[in-house]
Amino acid sequence: MINSLRGMNDMFYPDSALYEQFISVATKVASRYGYRFLQTPTLEQTSLFKRSVGESSDIVNKEMYQFTDKGSNDVCLRPEGTAGVVRAFIQHKLDRAGGVHRYFYHGSMFRYERPQKGRLREFHQFGIESFGIESAYEDATTILMLCDIFNELAIEYTLSINSIADENCMPAYKKMLIEFLELQNDKICEDCCKRKKLNPIRVLDCKNSNCQLIYKDAPKLLDHLCDSCNNEFEQLKSILDDNSIEYKIDTHLVRGLDYYNRTAFEFISGDIGAQNAIAGGGRYDKLCEHLGGRATPAVGAAIGLERVLELIKLGLEPTQSYYFGAMDSESIPMLIRAARIKRAVAPCNIEYRPRSLKAHLKNADKANASYCVIIGEDERKDAKLWIKNLQDNTQNRVDIDKF
Ligand SMILES: [Zn+2]
Ligand SMILES: [Zn+2]
């Protein structure tokens, strides 16, 4: 027997139906906000992710599905969606076209991690990226759009926001943070010691509870923003207030790479246990330039579908379904014709093996059908169908033409 790879799952009904439902709602909402669908390749050059996700990150260091293809190219299955979208944006010279460009995407992402609940090696994301607007208004609108998607699916969340500064005010803050960390050298965890050298801001979202206790006294980014970053953050908060969106400010919410700046946000579910972000995003005004394009302000977000699907409370809409059975083999062609008429409006199951009425009714019940439609010799001769409503147990015979 050949099994699927570890951390790579088959998605059967009803999960697959919830997946479709999520994509359909998210697509509808994104379209209303001016986003268009963009499909980019699953496989890209490894250098794209090394440059965009960053060589200091765990994703690039430990978790990439990286290999050399038959043409000796160093390639990698995408570990996230933004890099490919920015690459496409630059490659097609949209950075030179000016104006506003908004894209949404969805599909498989790959990370070689230890599989656990809600975390797979092949997982799925729905993401959005908006290019061309340098304003907290667009950041706020991105958040409002995610709220609309979650609200429509009755998914409960809490929202955390932060500002992670910009190239004006970040260097001074970084210096201050390093000075603070130097004094804590023997108390912080091993990972944080590494981060201190490579990417000091990243210590702030360390998962180690002892580190978190220490960082309670660390200098706070929000206290050291320049006027312009501060104004943008105030603007973001006032738009969220205007729209009655509740949020909390999390000064330890960071992204840690130089091209991420200002607005950062995270949607968290209270339902799945600790460390349960269901969506995250923020502004990345320097990434386009960093990947060789023209400087273009941008903001984006991604929703993790595996985690979100567990939270869809609405369930699936109940559908009226039909079971079709024949009492003799001569009736089967007529049965297929009758089912085809009904398939224009409802799901239909046909049993091709002739059975007794009693056996068919039992089958229909087992299949959870709403109606059982039977054709026997009498029905065939009269061009009629015998129908039993399995919800109220009424039955009647109707002309196939009036079905
Ligand atoms: Zn730590
Ligand atoms: Zn600033």
| Two tokens, residue 53 | 């996700």
CA of 310 to the centre of ligand 2 (A): 38
Q: For residue 125, which phi and psi values (nearest 5 degrees)?
A: -130, 150
Distances (CA, A) of 109 to 76, 127, 149, 216, 308: 11, 11, 21, 34, 15
**Local confidence band at 314 (pLDDT 50, 70, 90 cut-offs):** low
Please tell me which residue, 56 or 139, carries the higher pLDDT value.
139
Region 302-313: mean pLDDT is: 89
Ligand nearest to the CA of 226: 2
Ligand nearest to the CA of 191: 1
Asked whether the predicted pLDDT for residue 402 surpasses 80, the reply is yes
- Tens of pLDDT, residue by residue over 211-226, are 999 999 999 999 999 9
CA of 253 to the centre of ligand 2 (A): 16
Q: Which CATH superfamily is domain 322-402 in?
A: Anticodon-binding domain (3.40.50.800)
199: Cβ–Cβ under 8 A, 6 or more apart, which residues?
54, 56, 256, 257
**Local confidence band at 197 (pLDDT 50, 70, 90 cut-offs):** confident
CA of 297 to the centre of ligand 2 (A): 15
CA of 309 to the centre of ligand 1 (A): 31
Q: Cβ distance 31 to 67 under 8 Å?
A: no
**Local confidence band at 301 (pLDDT 50, 70, 90 cut-offs):** very high
- Tens of pLDDT, residue by residue over 327-349, are 999 999 999 999 999 999 999 99
- Tens of pLDDT, residue by residue over 64-109, are 999 999 999 999 999 999 999 999 999 999 999 999 999 999 999 9
Percentage of the chain surpassing pLDDT 70?
97
Ligand nearest to the CA of 208: 1
Ligand nearest to the CA of 213: 1
Ligand nearest to the CA of 222: 2
Which residues sit with Cβ closer than 5 angstroms to ligand 1, an ion? Answer: 189, 192, 206, 208, 211
CA of 211 to the centre of ligand 1 (A): 5
Q: Which helix (H) or strand (E) holds 244?
A: none
Half-sphere exposure of 39 (CA within 13 A, CB side): 0
CA of 58 to the centre of ligand 1 (A): 14
DSSP annotation of 67 reads E
Amino acid identity of residue 94, one-letter, is L
- Tens of pLDDT, residue by residue over 11-60, are 998 899 999 999 999 999 999 999 999 999 999 999 999 999 887 777 88
Q: Among 153, 98, 146, which residue's Cα sits nearest to residue 126?
A: 146
CA of 219 to the centre of ligand 1 (A): 16
| Two tokens, residue 46 | 């490894």
Ligand nearest to the CA of 283: 2
Q: Cβ distance 82 to 14 under 8 Å?
A: no
Q: Cβ distance 354 to 377 under 8 Å?
A: no
Cis, peptide link before residue 354, omega less than 30° from 0: no
| Two tokens, residue 381 | 């001769």
**Local confidence band at 275 (pLDDT 50, 70, 90 cut-offs):** low
Where exactly are the structural domains of the chain? Answer: 15-167+243-309, 170-224, 322-402
- pTM equals 0.89
CA of 245 to the centre of ligand 1 (A): 32
Q: Which CATH superfamily is domain 15-167+243-309 in?
A: Bira Bifunctional Protein; Domain 2 (3.30.930.10)
CA of 80 to the centre of ligand 1 (A): 24
Ligand nearest to the CA of 171: 2
